[in-house]
Amino acid sequence: MERVRVVLVGCGYWGPKVLRAAASLEEFEVTALVDRDVTRAETVQRHFPLARVERSLDHVLGDAVDAVIVATEPASHAELAEQALSAGMHVLVEKPLALNVADCRRLGELAQENGLVLMAGHTFLYSPAVRHVRSLLEQHELGDLYYVDSQRLNLGRVRRDVDAIWNFAPHDVSILNHWLSAHANAVRCHGYEFLQEGVDDVAFMTLEYDSSVVAHVHVSWLSPSKVRRMTIVGSRKMLVYDDVAAEKIMVYDAGIDRQHLDRTFPGFETFGEFQLIQRLGDLHVPRIPSVEPLVAETRHFAECIRDGTKPLSDWHEAAAVVATLEAANMSRAHGGESVPVEL
């Protein structure tokens, strides 16, 4: 495979991290750095001296470029991705792919028409820990799922261009959809602004799935410590995925079992005919491969370009996440009422 000649658009906080991951692979060659703030781009250029600096993507569209990584503010994602796709470039867009489902669909159809790869940067889908949890769920290891509780908290970075929901929740929603092989059918959301008017610093979302599973998502950049924890409760076992812990997955053989009071009558009509027994079993800590999700993500991007395969985080997957966040916005505006997720 010839090396993918890639351009980074957006040299702020996250873009250089994605580019570092891509540049660590032999599949990529960094050709240009684009940012309206030339000083930021020149700072990144110190690590990629052969890449040239430009203020606008327009200035590199005529060059020999194969792919573009878009890591700008979310409001510009759709426009820049469309520009790159229209010029015949494969595109990796940081989350969210766009700010509405219509733009996601338009970009996806444009990529398909031109035979190009369009991929959303839902990094955690490429985490070995997240993928291991999915395999456990596919094997029904936890039994029937009851609920999932997710916390993504931090102190800073406080943003002005998006609120905590659009900044943090794309990760949680993409992971939940991946684990459950579905998107939520309804969302309730309460958000609260403390630091800036019109920008929620903390939010609580309840997602209801067709399988009767319910998920609670708590996001905040106004919390004293960094928390990246998701708890899954099933009828047989419980699981904690903690992305900042040394042991990222812990499986608890624990739960509450129903025991009939009279075993000669297996059926029961009322709650009083059985008792609830607490079960505390072993704790299992699976061994998880040490692979950086960003590196796995960018490698997958290169593989999709080479083989023409559909990305794991393609536009359909990205649109489901955006649809959930759009519904959360509407619920937030209407006092937390249940809003259907429409695709």
Model confidence over 294-305: pLDDT tens digits? 999 999 999 999
Does the pLDDT of residue 271 top 80, yes or no? no
Q: pLDDT at position 20, please?
A: 97
Tell me, what's the pLDDT at 277? 80
Q: Where are the domains of the chain?
A: 4-121, 125-291+324-340
pLDDT of residue 257: 81
Instruction: Identify the burial level of 2 via C-beta atoms within 10 angstroms of its C-beta, where 0-12 means exposed, 13-18 middle and 19 or more buried.
Output: exposed
pLDDT greater than 60 at residue 267 = no
Residues 6+ apart with CB under 8 A from 135: none
pLDDT at position 211 is 79
- Burial grade of 146 (CB within 10 A; 0-12, 13-18, 19 or more): middle
- The whole-chain average pLDDT of the chain stands at 94
Determine the average pLDDT of the residues in 80-109. 98
Looking at domain 4-121, which CATH architecture does it have?
A: 3-Layer(aba) Sandwich (3.40)
Predicted confidence band of residue 254 (pLDDT cuts 50, 70, 90): confident
Distances (CA, A) of 262 to 39, 178, 272, 275: 76, 42, 11, 10
- Prior bond to 263 cis, omega within 30? no
pLDDT number for residue 260:
64
Confidence at residue 225, expressed as pLDDT on a 0 to 100 scale: 95
Band the pLDDT of 278: cuts 50, 70, 90.
Answer: confident
Q: What is the mean pLDDT of residues 69-85?
A: 98
Q: Evaluate whether 4-121 and 125-291+324-340 have a shared fold.
A: no
Greater model confidence, 260 or 195: 195
Q: Kindly indicate the confidence band of residue 98, based on its pLDDT and cuts at 50, 70 and 90.
A: very high
Asked if pLDDT for residue 275 goes beyond 80, the answer is no
More confident residue, 282 or 96: 96
Residue partners of 16: CB distance under 8 A and separation at least 6: 8, 44, 47
CATH architecture of 125-291+324-340: 2-Layer Sandwich (3.30)
pLDDT digits (tens, 9 = 90+) for 148-167: 999 999 999 999 999 999 99
Average pLDDT over residues 34-56: 96
